[in-house]
A = this chain, B = another copy of it.
Amino acid sequence: MSLLHKTNLQLLLDLSLNKAVFDGEFGLEKENVRVDRHGRLALTPHPSAFGEKLNNPYIQTDFSESQVEMITPVFTSITETHQFMESIHDIVTLELEEQQELLWPSSNPPMLPQEQDIPIAQMNNAVADEYRHELANKYGRKRQLLSGIHYNFSFTDTFLNQLYKLNQQTDDGQRFELSSSSESFATFKDFKDAVYFKVARNLLKWRWILIYLTGASPIFDKSYMKHCVEKGMSIDHKSYFFPNMSSLRNSTCGYRNQSNFQVSYQSVQQYVQDLQQLIDERELMNAMEFYSPVRMKTADGSDPLQALLNDGVAYLELRFIDLNPLEKIGISEETMHFIHLFLIYMLLKQDEPFGVREQRLADLNHDRMNSEGLDGLLHTTSQEQITLREAALVFMDEITTMVELLAPDKERYISIIANERQKMAQPELVIAELVKDGVHRSDYISYHLAKAEKYAQQSIATGYRFQGYEDLELSTQLLLKAAVKRGIRFELLDRKDNFVRLMKDEQVEYVKQATKTSLDTYSTVLMMENKIVTKIVLAEHGIRVPIGEDYTSLATTKEAYNKYREQQIVIKPKLTNFGLGITILNYNYSEAELNRAFEIAFEHDDTVLLEPFMTGKEYRFLVMGDEVVGILHRVPANVVGDGKLTITQLVQEKNKDPLRGQGYVTPLEQIKLGEAEVTVLASQQKSIDYIPNAGEIIYLRENSNISTGGDSIDYTDDIPDSYKQIAIRAAHAVDATFCGVDMMIDDIGVVANDHNYSIIEINFNPAIHIHCYPYQGKNRKANEKILDLLFDEK
């Protein structure tokens, strides 16, 4: 039963195309049903935060209003695809969290109400709404809540083109043969179609193997369709199952056409012709209603028949993959890799006949596997009597051989295959059996609800980051997550620069570092960058600023000393955004100290500002448009005692917060107990072993930077409106849309007057993540606000 086409394989090796066959383009789509905190189907509308259902390329609804569909863009690697799906999953989870809902992690539905109480998706489109109602009537709303994963795949056109050239060669044995008939192709399109139809045929024939390995819906709730519950078995009269069934969704109780329509996969022409006939005969309303396990898709993602004829097949959509409740997003990277290998094998193996008879046998094998497991006999046209298990094992050997011959990263693949092979020998290891086993320890609803809650907690804990984009600044990651949520497409133009392009309908926006956008003019940014200009303009607008002088030479130190010796002053370089080169001189400083402060500042710029030192506490006002979006105050790294733990232990406890990390990849930084902290403690006559009293606050640093473990405290709701109005006026004075206004406030218990505050700086690139994930306080959703303003929403 050797199925590999050895000559073809050797040819790929000879021509160094063996690696290119593993290249591909991938996409995932998946549905999850929304449920409440008790595992009941959510009857709420699709959250408006996800924008218009039909316009969001990432987050839509499927048949039911309660069924969220998540769609990744196309990626050239499985890792990226998987990570992006995880991010969408996180984004949806975080939004649902706000309405106390969860994503149901099983392909089988949660606790369902009566059929007629299940909401059908409202598409705000008469035709689409009617179509959905017809489908609901035909298949039943409960059935329609079955959810799954679509795995989209194509080889790269570069690779297929090389194959095509090999196929066109006629001179010697160096010819790549798609089938034994040695057919030749007039165009690349014809060849490419033939490739995907060959893969589709082989896939249909052997799909039972993949369903065995990926089936994850072996058990269902008593609220599912009555006739299925009645036929099923149950231990607890809550959760029902059929013996050996791994996938309800791929069973007769699953989502299938009412008949096993015979559609030819011999060529694109025959495929289209057969489908058209079914439509003409009113068996199907349209081509979309043909629920084949694999779909032939065109480049724009649709599958209308005419487009298939004209443009050919662009990729395959595998539709039979269940949501795996053991995985947060319903599928593991390993499973994705195995399916990829399975698809490559379908191209490289010998072509086999796949007429009406073979197609029916494939359907029978599918059903036999799903009712008898691997112990049943393989339906085959030959006389050979082998079990499904024996056939599957041969199959795994063949894939192993293929990988060993060709693959670029063999070890990982071999390990993945070995793991899947193990499940054939030991059915108790297969996903469906693990799920069934888990359910039997509690019940269907409780088991999956626990999973749903666990996964939601994971999403929330890492809500500040975007899977697969952790190399970007947190502010940019948050902006992109907000974009995905509302369906604004994005592209990374220069990852290192955090330079992205956002697209919605016809509008295109270029954004660098989250807040550098087209909404601020260049001159506005330059005004903010230049402290002298900022102060002139703010003062003209009646806003209190530290009015000082600028110096361009150390020679004037003496003059400055004579003039300012009786004041507290600040010496700082004219251009700095990072607090470098700044010295604060308290009362009674010496001329030498002033001189040194000037020297330090001159190391950073050749113009240095001398300003009166402004009293009060410093607050960062994040202004966006006409609004103060958030106000933060930072305090130095600290711990609060409980009367039991030492400082070391308290630091360890505080560092467990998932928002605290190392190396600026998290909203807060872990507190260190290094030389600097020990010195600060020593100045308080304390050591790291000191046990602070309950409620005693121990500061471990003098500076309040987040980068040295400082805390960010949200004061947005605590600062009187008068200060907010001043911050907004300051932003307007320089015509800024996005800026961070640093204000000193003497006492936030007193409303602003002409002498109890001052603005020391306006920043043109304010960090937004600190307002979204402060140490204390609410997420101020600054990322959402940027998009509101950029795309004129809300």
Residues of chain A at the chain B interface (Cβ within 8 Å): 493-494, 496-497, 499, 509-512, 516-527, 530, 532-533, 536-537, 552, 607, 735, 764
- B527 A522 Cβ-Cβ under 8 A: no
- A521 B523 Cβ-Cβ under 8 A: no
- A516 B512 Cβ-Cβ under 8 A: no
CA distance A431 to B524 in the complex (A): 52
CB distance from A528 to the nearest CB of B (A): 10
User: A512-B523, A517-B521 given as contacts; is B735 within 8 A of A497 (CB)?
Assistant: no
CB distance from A492 to the nearest CB of B (A): 10
- B524 A494 Cβ-Cβ under 8 A: no
CB distance from A519 to the nearest CB of B (A): 7
Q: Which residues of B contact A520 (CB under 8 A)?
A: 521-522
| One of B493, B518, B522 near A536 (C-beta < 8 A) | B493
CA distance A536 to B512 in the complex (A): 15
| One of B511, B516, B525, B532 near A493 (C-beta < 8 A) | B532
- B496 A533 Cβ-Cβ under 8 A: no
CA distance A607 to B537 in the complex (A): 37
Name which residue of chain B comes closest to A494, CB basis: B532
Name which residue of chain B comes closest to A735, CB basis: B518
Copy number of this protein in the oligomer?
A: 2
- A516 B510 Cβ-Cβ under 8 A: no
Q: List 29 A-B contacts (CB under 8 A).
A: A493-B530, A493-B536, A494-B532, A494-B533, A496-B552, A496-B607, A497-B530, A497-B532, A497-B533, A499-B526, A499-B530, A499-B533, A509-B523, A510-B524, A511-B523, A512-B523, A512-B526, A516-B522, A516-B526, A518-B521, A518-B523, A518-B524, A520-B521, A520-B522, A521-B521, A521-B522, A522-B522, A522-B524, A522-B764
CA distance A519 to B520 in the complex (A): 10
CB distance from A471 to the nearest CB of B (A): 12
CA distance A604 to B512 in the complex (A): 21
Q: Which residues of B contact A552 (CB under 8 A)?
A: 496
- A516 B511 Cβ-Cβ under 8 A: no
Q: Which residues of B contact A530 (CB under 8 A)?
A: 493-494, 497, 499, 512
Q: Which residues of B contact A527 (CB under 8 A)?
A: 510
CA distance A279 to B776 in the complex (A): 75
Q: Which residues of B contact A518 (CB under 8 A)?
A: 521-524, 735
CA distance A757 to B774 in the complex (A): 52
Name which residue of chain B comes closest to A527, CB basis: B510
Q: Which residues of B contact A764 (CB under 8 A)?
A: 522
Name which residue of chain B comes closest to A510, CB basis: B523
CB distance from A573 to the nearest CB of B (A): 13
Q: Which residues of B contact A524 (CB under 8 A)?
A: 510, 518, 522
CB distance from A479 to the nearest CB of B (A): 13
User: A519-B521, A521-B518, A521-B521 given as contacts; is B526 within 8 A of A510 (CB)?
Assistant: yes
CA distance A518 to B736 in the complex (A): 11
Q: Assuming A493-B530, A518-B523, A518-B735, what are 5 further A-B pairs, CB within 8 angstroms? A: A493-B533, A496-B607, A497-B532, A518-B524, A522-B764
CA distance A519 to B518 in the complex (A): 11
Name which residue of chain B comes closest to A497, CB basis: B530
Q: Which residues of B contact A521 (CB under 8 A)?
A: 517-522
CB distance from A717 to the nearest CB of B (A): 30
Instruction: Give the one of A511, A521, A537, A607 with max B CB within 10 A.
Output: A521
Q: Which residues of B contact A525 (CB under 8 A)?
A: 522
CB distance from A548 to the nearest CB of B (A): 14
CB distance from A713 to the nearest CB of B (A): 30
Name which residue of chain B comes closest to A521, CB basis: B518
Q: Which residues of B contact A509 (CB under 8 A)?
A: 523
CA distance A764 to B518 in the complex (A): 15
Name which residue of chain B comes closest to A534, CB basis: B493
CA distance A770 to B524 in the complex (A): 27
Q: Which residues of B contact A517 (CB under 8 A)?
A: 521-523
CA distance A524 to B532 in the complex (A): 25
Instruction: Give the one of A510, A511, A516, A524 with max B CB within 10 A.
Output: A510
CA distance A173 to B524 in the complex (A): 56
CB distance from A603 to the nearest CB of B (A): 18
CA distance A525 to B552 in the complex (A): 29
Name which residue of chain B comes closest to A606, CB basis: B496
Q: Which residues of B contact A499 (CB under 8 A)?
A: 526, 530, 532-533
CA distance A499 to B575 in the complex (A): 14
Closest 9 CB pairs of A and B: A518-B521, A510-B523, A518-B523, A520-B522, A493-B533, A512-B526, A494-B532, A522-B525, A516-B522
CB distance from A559 to the nearest CB of B (A): 15
Q: Which residues of B contact A519 (CB under 8 A)?
A: 521
Name which residue of chain B comes closest to A765, CB basis: B522
